[in-house]
Copies of this chain bind each other. A is one copy, B any other.
Amino acid sequence: MRSKSGRPAVLMDVAMLAGVSAMTVSRVLNAPDMVRAETRARVLAAVRELDYRPNQAARQLVTGRSGVLGVVSIDTTLYGPATTLYWIEQAARHAGYNVSIASLSSLNRGSMEEGVERLRAQGVAGVIIVAPHESAADGLRNLSPETPVVAVDAGDDIPVPVAKVDQRAGAVRATKHLLSLGHETVWHVAGPADWLDANGRIEGWRGVLEEAGRPVPEILRGDWSSRSGYELGRRLVAEPEVGAVFVANDQMALGVLRALREAGRRVPEDVSVVGFDDIPESAYFWPPLTTVRQDFGEVGRLAFRLLLDRMEGAAPDARRLVEPELVVRESTGAAPRPGGTRGRQSRRGAKPA
C-alpha cells in the first residue's frame, strides 16, 4: 500500500504508525537484534504498510557512508573495459554497494582527475580506475588521498593498489608458443603507444626474442581496431619472410587474418597468427584464432576486493596479478621448413580488388 498522503513515507511516519519512537524504527533497520522481536514485527509491518524506503541522502549525511562506489573508465565500448566494469558492478552489488560511472571520452592530462573529482563530489566511498594509459598513471600520481582509489591494469609505479592481468606473461606465452613451432622470429602488431597493456605485451614479446637470440622485427602500431589490423596486415604481407605474427588484440588479429588471406597467404600453413584477449568471437574466426585469454571478470572482482580492503583500512600492499592463459586453436602451426619443398612464394598482387 502506498503512503496515504501524496508524499512518500518517512521514518517518523513509520514510527507513529507502529507506536514507537523514530529511533526504534532506525534500529529495526540497522541493528535488528537490539529490539524485541515483538516490537520489531510491529515496525516491520508498518514499514510494509507505508512502503517506506529510507532516504539515502539523510543516512549518508549523518553516517558519512554513501554505499556508492565510483568507476572511472575509458571507452566502455571496448570488450575489456566493458567486461571489467560488468564484474565490478556484480561484485559491488553483492557486497551491498551501488556503482556510479564516469566515462572518459578522451584522455588528456586532466580528464581522469576530473572524472575522479566528479565521483568524489558525489560522495562515493571509493573509486576504481579503469584507464590503462600512461597518461592516466600520471593523473593518478597527484590524487588527493582522501578517497580510497584502486586501479585496473595500471603501471607498477603508481601509488595505489593495482589489479591487473600479467600482460607480459601473456605475451611471453604467445611468443614462446610461436617459437616452439619452429618459427625463427615473431612479428608484432602492437596497440597504441600510450596504453600500458600494449607496452606490457611488447616487453614480453621482445624479451623472449632477445633471450632466444632471435632478430627483433620492427613493431607495427595499431589502435586496437580491426581496420588498423588490416592496414598493418597489408604491410606485413609485403615482407615475404613473415612467418609468425603476434597481434596485441583479437580485433586487430581479425584484420590481419583478412589481409593475409587477400594476399593469398594461408593461415597457419604459411603464416601463424596469435591474438590477445580471447573475445567470444575469436573461436569463430577463420581460422579459429589462437589467442591469450584474459579473465576480465577476475580482474574486476579482484579490483573490487582491493578497494574494499582499502576502504576498510586494510594493508595497502595487496597488488596482485591475474594470470593469462594461452588458448591454442587453429591459426598457429609448424613453421614451413626453411628451403623446404613447399615454396614460400609471396603472391603479391594476387589480392582480389
Residues on A facing B (Cβ under 8 Å): 2, 8, 53-58, 60-61, 66, 68, 75-77, 79, 82-83, 85-86, 89-90, 93, 98-103, 105, 118-123, 144, 146, 225-227, 229-230, 251, 254-255, 257-258, 261, 280-281, 283-286
With contact pairs A61-B58, A77-B82, A229-B284 given, residues A53 and B121 touching in the complex (Cβ less than 8 Å):
yes
Q: How far is the CA of A255 from the CA of B286 in the complex (A)?
A: 10
Q: How far is the CA of A187 from the CA of B122 in the complex (A)?
A: 51
Complex A-B, nearest 10 residue pairs according to Cβ-Cβ distance, in ascending order: A57-B60, A226-B284, A57-B61, A82-B82, A89-B103, A100-B100, A57-B57, A226-B281, A255-B284, A254-B284
Q: Are B144 and A122 in contact (CB under 8 A)?
A: no
| Shortest Cβ gap from A97 to chain B (Å) | 10
Q: How far is the CA of A82 from the CA of B89 in the complex (A)?
A: 14
Q: How far is the CA of A258 from the CA of B281 in the complex (A)?
A: 11
One of B86, B102, B229, B284 near A230 (C-beta < 8 A): B284
Q: Which residues of B contact A284 (CB under 8 A)?
A: 226-227, 229-230, 254-255, 258
| Shortest Cβ gap from A252 to chain B (Å) | 9
Q: Are A99 and B98 in contact (CB under 8 A)?
A: no
8 A-B pairs besides A56-B122, A98-B119 with CB distance below 8 A are A76-B76, A76-B82, A76-B89, A77-B79, A86-B103, A93-B102, A98-B122, A99-B101
Q: How far is the CA of A98 from the CA of B103 in the complex (A)?
A: 10
Q: How far is the CA of A227 from the CA of B82 in the complex (A)?
A: 21
Q: How far is the CA of A285 from the CA of B257 in the complex (A)?
A: 9
Q: How far is the CA of A127 from the CA of B146 in the complex (A)?
A: 30
Q: Are A254 and B281 in contact (CB under 8 A)?
A: yes
With contact pairs A280-B225, A281-B251 given, residues A105 and B122 touching in the complex (Cβ less than 8 Å):
no
Output the residue of A2, A82, A118 with the most chain B CB within 10 A: A82
| Shortest Cβ gap from A231 to chain B (Å) | 11
Q: Are A68 and B100 in contact (CB under 8 A)?
A: yes
With contact pairs A98-B100, A251-B281, A261-B286 given, residues A76 and B85 touching in the complex (Cβ less than 8 Å):
yes
| Shortest Cβ gap from A127 to chain B (Å) | 13
Q: Are A283 and B98 in contact (CB under 8 A)?
A: no
| Shortest Cβ gap from A91 to chain B (Å) | 11
| Shortest Cβ gap from A149 to chain B (Å) | 16
Q: How far is the CA of A90 from the CA of B111 in the complex (A)?
A: 13
With contact pairs A89-B101, A144-B2 given, residues A226 and B55 touching in the complex (Cβ less than 8 Å):
no
Q: How far is the CA of A200 from the CA of B105 in the complex (A)?
A: 32
Q: Are B77 and A121 in contact (CB under 8 A)?
A: no
Q: Closest chain B residue to A71 by CB distance?
A: B101
Q: Closest chain B residue to A81 by CB distance?
A: B82
Q: How far is the CA of A93 from the CA of B68 in the complex (A)?
A: 18
A-B contact pairs, 24 of them (CB 8 A): A2-B144, A54-B121, A56-B57, A56-B123, A57-B60, A57-B123, A68-B100, A76-B76, A77-B79, A77-B83, A93-B118, A98-B119, A99-B101, A226-B284, A227-B280, A227-B283, A229-B284, A230-B284, A254-B285, A257-B286, A258-B285, A261-B286, A281-B281, A286-B286
